[in-house]
Amino acid sequence: MSHVTDLLHSIPSDPLTGAISVPIYQTSTYVQEAPGVNKGFDYSRTNNPTRAALEKLVAGLEHGESAAAFSSGLAAIDSVVKLLKSGDEVLAVDDIYGGAFRLYTHIYEKFGVKVNYVDTSRIENVVEAITPATKLVWLETPTNPTLKVSDIAAIAGVAKANDALFCVDNTFASPVLQNPLLLGADIVVHSATKYLAGHSDLIAGVVVCKTKELGDRIRFIQNATGAILGPFDSWLVIRGLETLHLRVKQHCKNALEVAQFLEGHPGVKKVFYPGLPSHFNHEVAKKQSSGFGGVVSFVLSEETIEAAKTFVTSTKYFKLAESLGGVKSLLCHPAEMTHKSIPAEIRRASGVSDGLIRLSVGLEEVQDLINDLELALQKVELKEKVAVNA
Ligand SMILES: *Cc1c(COP(=O)(O)O)cnc(C)c1O
The pLDDT of residue 368 is 98
Ligand 1 lined by 97 (C-beta under 6 Å): yes
Q: Residue 74 C-alpha to ligand 1 middle, in angstroms? A: 6
Ligand 1 pocket test: which of 71, 74, 200, 295 has the largest number of ligand atoms within 8 Å of its C-beta? Answer: 74
The ranges of the chain annotated as CATH 3.40.640.10 are 3-241
Q: Residue 188 C-alpha to ligand 1 middle, in angstroms? A: 13
Ligand 1 lined by 334 (C-beta under 6 Å): no
Ligand 1 lined by 72 (C-beta under 6 Å): yes
| Residue 192 confidence (pLDDT) above 80 | yes
Greater confidence (387 vs 261) lies with 261
Ligand 1 lined by 205 (C-beta under 6 Å): yes
- Return d(Cα 390, Cα 375) in angstroms, integer: 23
Q: What is the topology classification, in CATH, of domain 3-241?
A: Aspartate Aminotransferase; domain 2 (3.40.640)
- Residue of minimum CA distance from atom 4 in ligand 1: 73
Report the percentage of the chain scoring pLDDT > 90.
87
Ligand 1 pocket test: which of 168, 174, 191 has the largest number of ligand atoms within 8 Å of its C-beta? Answer: 191
Query: Which ligand 1 atom is at minimum distance from the Cα of 99?
Result: 4
Q: Residue 314 C-alpha to ligand 1 middle, in angstroms? A: 26
Q: What is the topology classification, in CATH, of domain 245-389?
A: Aspartate Aminotransferase, domain 1 (3.90.1150)
Q: Residue 72 C-alpha to ligand 1 middle, in angstroms? A: 8
Q: Residue 75 C-alpha to ligand 1 middle, in angstroms? A: 9
Ligand 1 lined by 73 (C-beta under 6 Å): yes
**pLDDT one-digit tens code per residue, 14-52:** 989 999 999 999 999 999 999 989 999 999 999 999 999
- Residue of minimum CA distance from atom 7 in ligand 1: 73
| Residue 3 confidence (pLDDT) above 80 | no
The pLDDT of residue 343 is 82
Inter-residue contact 45 to 51 (CB < 8 Å): no
Q: Residue 137 C-alpha to ligand 1 middle, in angstroms? A: 18
Q: What is the mean pLDDT of residues 68-75?
A: 98
Ligand 1 lined by 170 (C-beta under 6 Å): no
**pLDDT one-digit tens code per residue, 316-364:** 999 999 999 999 999 999 999 888 877 888 788 878 899 999 999 999 9
**pLDDT one-digit tens code per residue, 117-158:** 999 999 999 999 999 999 999 999 999 899 999 999 999 999
The pLDDT of residue 2 is 65
Q: What is the mean pLDDT of residues 205-215?
A: 98
* HEC sequence for the chain: CCHHHHHHCCCCCCCCCCCCCCCCCCCCECCCCECCECCCCCECCCCCHHHHHHHHHHHHHHCCCEEEEECCHHHHHHHHHCCCCCCCEEEEECCCCHHHHHHHHHHHHHHCCEEEEECCCCHHHHHHHCCCCEEEEEEECCCCCCCCCCCHHHHHHHHHHCCCEEEEECCCCHHHHCCHHHHCCCEEEEECCCCCCCCCCCCCEEEEECCHHHHHHHHHHHHHHCCECCHHHHHHHHHHHCCHHHHHHHHHHHHHHHHHHHHCCCCEEEEECCCCCCCCCHHHHHHHCCCCCCEEEEEECCCCHHHHHHHHCCCCCCEECCCCCCCCCEEECCCCCCCCCCCHHHHHHCCCCCCEEEEECCCCCHHHHHHHHHHHHHHHHHHHHHHHHC
- Residue of minimum CA distance from atom 1 in ligand 1: 191
Q: Residue 97 C-alpha to ligand 1 middle, in angstroms? A: 7
Ligand 1 pocket test: which of 95, 144, 174 has the largest number of ligand atoms within 8 Å of its C-beta? Answer: 144
| Residue 367 confidence (pLDDT) above 80 | yes
Q: Residue 67 C-alpha to ligand 1 middle, in angstroms? A: 17
- Residue of minimum CA distance from atom 9 in ligand 1: 73
The ranges of the chain annotated as CATH 3.90.1150.10 are 245-389
The pLDDT of residue 1 is 47
**pLDDT one-digit tens code per residue, 156-185:** 999 999 999 999 999 999 999 999 999 999
**pLDDT one-digit tens code per residue, 218-236:** 999 999 999 999 999 999 9
Ligand 1 lined by 117 (C-beta under 6 Å): no
- Residue of minimum CA distance from atom 6 in ligand 1: 73
Active site residues: 45, 97, 169, 194
